[in-house]
């Protein structure tokens, strides 16, 4: 497989089997250097397994891949020298302070004691952790631990950073802080491969997104391209009575032959229309059935609606032997 200088990652037919179970089913990817690339899918879709292969932690069962121009299997040592990985779970020692953790990791990567302390302090300041530098990590909040995890991956700035579910379990403020960190890394030239089950996260950060379901890439493109692929007309409805939502769903699905998505708000649902003129018909059907509307609007589909259209289900857990073991 020939490499292309423009791409940090190139795969062709990448597969991984665990016994008789095929967890990754022939993935093709091209990740542009200096970009954020998102792998979007539910738990168990094969995202973590893909990252573990690309970061040389798992040998592929088949296919080809090149990372930063190096063959993933035959030049694994050269790949490891230029990448870093932040997994889903904390990799730092909770009994040490933030500064002690980073200094220790710097020493393990060849820094002197003085150089290690300087690098640790630089990262603590950059990640807004300097005030907690002397505290044991076990006293940190979830957001602070996650920032320290990412800082630990940047002792030596990598050409390629794998972030596996970097904001899982974080509050909105901490999530936004991590997003700002990712944007800063890319501005400085690092390529980021991000796995996430958060649709908003992929929408906010990723230049291109691969939608993964049951171990296969089912769609790929920019957020705008993915939304356009399922149609540009989405009717958003809010009912007067949430108890009538299931009835409304059945009526709309039956009369319009359209995909109807139930929103988190118990009174809200959306309908994907092939033509905006169908909105008038949809709005006429509900009052005839005695279903009242508080409001309605036309708009672009969300990534959640894209995923539902592509897979027939929302982003919900599935079973994947590798990810289930994490």
CB 219 within 8 A of CB 211: yes
Q: What is the mean pLDDT of residues 275-280?
A: 73
The topology (CATH level 3) of 233-299 is Alpha-Beta Plaits (3.30.70)
Residue 231's pLDDT band (cuts 50, 70, 90)? low
Neighbours of 74 (CB within 10 A): 9
SS3 at position 162: strand
**Bridge partners (DSSP) listed for residue 296:** 237
Residue 317's pLDDT band (cuts 50, 70, 90)? very low
Give 140 or 256, the one with higher predicted confidence.
140
Lowest average pLDDT, out of 54-58, 93-97, 195-199, 290-294, goes to 195-199
Q: What is the pLDDT of residues 4-41, one digit of tens each?
A: 779 999 999 999 999 999 999 999 999 999 999 999 98
Say whether 233-299 and 7-227 share the same fold: no
pLDDT computed for residue 228 by the predictor = 76
- CA 66 vs CA 14, 15, 106, 322: distances in Å: 11, 14, 28, 22
Give 54 or 281, the one with higher predicted confidence.
54
Give 69 or 89, the one with higher predicted confidence.
69
Q: Is the pLDDT of residue 311 over 70?
A: yes
Q: What angle do CA 47, 8, 176 make, to 5 degrees?
A: 60
pLDDT computed for residue 301 by the predictor = 67
Residue 315's pLDDT band (cuts 50, 70, 90)? low
What distance lies between CA 60 and its chain's CA centroid?
A: 21
Return left, alpha or beta for 224; rule: phi > 0 is left, psi -120 to 50 is alpha, else beta.
alpha
In the chain, DSSP finds a helix count (H) and a strand count (E) of: 12, 14
Q: Is the pLDDT of residue 204 over 60?
A: yes
Q: Is the pLDDT of residue 233 over 90?
A: no
CB 196 within 8 A of CB 45: no
> What percent of the chain has pLDDT above 90?
54
Of the candidates 53, 56, 10, 40, the one whose C-alpha atom is nearest the C-alpha of residue 195 is 40
Of the candidates 221, 243, 248, the one whose C-alpha atom is nearest the C-alpha of residue 306 is 221
**Bridge partners (DSSP) listed for residue 86:** 163
pLDDT computed for residue 197 by the predictor = 83
Q: Is the pLDDT of residue 142 over 60?
A: yes
Q: What is the mean pLDDT of residues 286-297?
A: 90
pLDDT computed for residue 90 by the predictor = 64
**Structural element, H or E, at residue 173:** helix 172-187
Give 185 or 271, the one with higher predicted confidence.
185
Of the candidates 220, 92, 88, 75, the one whose C-alpha atom is nearest the C-alpha of residue 162 is 88
**Bridge partners (DSSP) listed for residue 243:** none
* Whole-angstrom distance, CA of residue 216 vs CA of residue 226: 16
Residues 6 or more apart whose CB falls under 8 angstroms from that of 304 comprise 199, 261, 314, 315
Each domain of the chain, given as residue ranges in start order, spans 7-227, 233-299
CB 308 within 8 A of CB 316: no
pLDDT, averaged across the chain: 87
pLDDT computed for residue 173 by the predictor = 84
Residue 94's pLDDT band (cuts 50, 70, 90)? very high
Give 198 or 211, the one with higher predicted confidence.
211
CB 244 within 8 A of CB 269: no
pLDDT computed for residue 1 by the predictor = 64
- CA 98 vs CA 125, 197, 226: distances in Å: 11, 28, 40
Burial of 32 (0-12, 13-18, 19+ CB in 10 A): middle
Q: What is the mean pLDDT of residues 224-242?
A: 81
> What percent of the chain has pLDDT above 70?
90
Pairing, β 191-196 against β 160-164: parallel
What CATH class does 7-227 carry? alpha beta
Q: What angle do CA 175, 214, 57 make, to 5 degrees?
A: 65
The conformation of residue 301, written as its DSSP 8-state character, comes to: P
pLDDT computed for residue 126 by the predictor = 87
pLDDT computed for residue 319 by the predictor = 46
């Amino acid at each position: 497989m020939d490499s292309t200088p423009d791409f940090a990652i190139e795969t062709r037919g990448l597969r991984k089997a665990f016994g008789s179970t095929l967890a990754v089913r022939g993935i093709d990817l091209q990740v542009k250097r200096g970009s954020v690339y998102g792998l979007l899918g539910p738990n168990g879709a094969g995202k973590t397994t893909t990252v573990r292969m690309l970061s040389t932690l798992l040998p592929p069962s088949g296919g080809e891949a090149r990372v930063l121009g190096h063959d993933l299997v035959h030049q694994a040592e050269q790949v490891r020298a230029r990448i870093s990985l932040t997994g889903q779970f904390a990799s730092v020692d909770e009994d040490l302070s933030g500064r002690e953790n980073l200094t220790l990791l710097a020493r393990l990567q060849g820094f002197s004691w003085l150089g290690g302390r300087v690098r640790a302090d630089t990262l603590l300041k950059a990640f807004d952790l300097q005030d907690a530098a002397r505290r044991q990590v076990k006293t940190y909040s979830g957001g602070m631990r996650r920032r320290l995890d990412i800082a630990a991956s940047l002792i030596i700035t990598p050409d390629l950073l794998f972030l596996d579910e970097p904001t899982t379990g974080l509050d909105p403020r901490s999530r936004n802080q991590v997003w700002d960190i990712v944007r800063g890394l890319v501005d400085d030239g690092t390529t980021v491969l991000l796995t996430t089950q958060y649709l908003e996260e992929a929408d906010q950060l990723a230049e291109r997104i691969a939608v993964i379901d049951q171990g296969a890439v089912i769609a790929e493109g920019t957020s705008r391209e993915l939304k356009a692929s399922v149609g540009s007309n989405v009717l958003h409805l809010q009912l007067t009575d949430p108890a009538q939502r299931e009835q409304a769903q059945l009526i709309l699905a039956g009369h319009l032959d359209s995909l109807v998505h139930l929103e988190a708000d118990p009174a809200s649902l959306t309908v994907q229309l092939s033509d905006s003129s169908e909105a008038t018909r949809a709005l006429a059907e509900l009052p005839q059935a005695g279903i009242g509307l508080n409001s309605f609007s036309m708009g672009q589909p969300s990534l959640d609606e894209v995923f539902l259209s592509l897979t027939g289900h929302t982003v919900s857990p599935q079973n994947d032997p590798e990810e289930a073991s994490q």
